[in-house]
Structure formats: C-alpha cells, structure tokens
C-alpha cells in the first residue's frame, strides 16, 4: 500500500459527510483543539484560548464544531491569524506535512502530481488514471473538484449559485 494512502480518501469521506470545505475545515480545527486538550495535565499551564484563522463568513462555523473540551476555551478567530506566531508555526508545519505527503504520492505513483486547477493538473490526472485506473483518483485528489468529472468523462454538476460569478467552485 502506498505510504501516503488514506489521507485524500479520508478528506473525501469528510467532505461527503459534511458537504462543504468550510465545515470540513471547522471539524479539523475542532478535532485538533480537542486532541491537544485531551493531553490534560501535560498542558501546564492549561491553555485559556485557541487562535484560528477565520476562513468562513461567520465565526459560528468553527464554534459549532467545537467538541466538549474545546468549548472550555475562548476561541479567537480572525483574518490573517498567522500574524500570531503560534498560528504561523502551525501553518508552516501543516504546509510541510502536505508537501511531504505529496512527494510520497508522486514517488508511489511514479509521476509528478501538480497542484491546483489547470490544464497541467487535468493532463496529469488523465495520465494517472491511464496508468493505475480510475480507482486511484480518490487516493490522490479531492473528488468534489470539477477536475474529477472532466478527467473521468462524467457530466459536471451545475455551478453552485453562491460561487463568485464567472468562477465555478472546483
């Protein structure tokens, strides 16, 4: 089994269950807060607040996702939260982990996997599917993106009415 298997599949399952990127992000933030707080006595002094970037239009998106321990903290959400050194450090660690996992996926599948949404991404996805079959796609890609439908020759869903005009989501 590839060394990075499961991570994209888990994301795809979460997106299917939650229905949007923002609710997946909110769940992830809440889960991370809960995981840290479960360390209990190791947190000395215990934290009083958590700081998060505000990625949703309202702060209630993350607040609703908080779990029991997370609700004991003051949650501070703001745009450009990476101005806080702890948030910046967490962002750097997360980005490094993402890049390392993508490198492993490229090695596991023997080809570059470009990021984003472009003709190069679609071409690489088509090549990946040609080499390994359509079942590989959920292991390396976010399946709610429109690229998935194009690569698999499936009809694209209608554009989201809330997406900015001229820029369909995905």
Q: What is the CATH number of domain 1-101?
A: 3.30.420.10
The whole model's pTM is what? 0.80
> What is the residue-level pLDDT of the chain in tens, covering all 170 positions?
344 557 899 999 999 999 899 999 999 999 999 999 999 999 999 999 999 999 998 899 999 999 999 999 999 999 999 999 999 999 999 999 999 999 999 999 999 999 988 999 999 999 999 999 999 999 999 999 999 999 999 999 888 766 555 545 45
**Within the chain, which residue ranges are assigned CATH 3.30.420.10?**
1-101
State the DSSP string of the chain: --TTTTHHHHHHHHHHHH-SHHHHHHHHHHHHHHHHHTTGGGSSSPP-EEEEE--SSSTHHHHHH--TTGGGSEEEEETTGGGSHHHHHHHHHHHHHHHHHHHHHHHHHTS----SSSHHHHHHHHHHHHHH-GGGHHHHS-TTSHHHHHHHTPPPPPPPTTSPTT----
């Amino acid at each position: 089994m590839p060394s990075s298997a499961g991570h994209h599949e888990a994301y795809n399952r979460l997106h299917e269950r939650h229905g949007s990127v923002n609710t997946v992000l909110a769940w992830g933030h809440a889960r991370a807060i809960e995981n840290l707080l479960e360390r209990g006595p190791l947190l000395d002094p215990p934290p009083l607040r958590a700081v998060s970037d505000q990625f949703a239009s309202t702060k209630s998106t993350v607040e609703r996702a908080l779990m029991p321990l997370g609700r004991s903290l003051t949650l501070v959400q703001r745009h450009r939260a990476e101005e806080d050194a702890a948030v910046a450090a967490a962002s750097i660690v997360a980005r490094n982990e993402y890049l390392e996992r993508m490198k492993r996926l490229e090695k596991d599948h023997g080809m570059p996997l470009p990021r984003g949404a472009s003709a190069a991404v679609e071409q690489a996805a088509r090549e990946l599917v040609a080499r390994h079959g359509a079942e590989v796609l959920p292991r390396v890609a976010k399946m709610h993106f429109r690229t998935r439908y194009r690569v698999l020759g499936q009809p694209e869903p209608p554009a989201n009415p809330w997406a900015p005009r001229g820029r369909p989501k995905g």
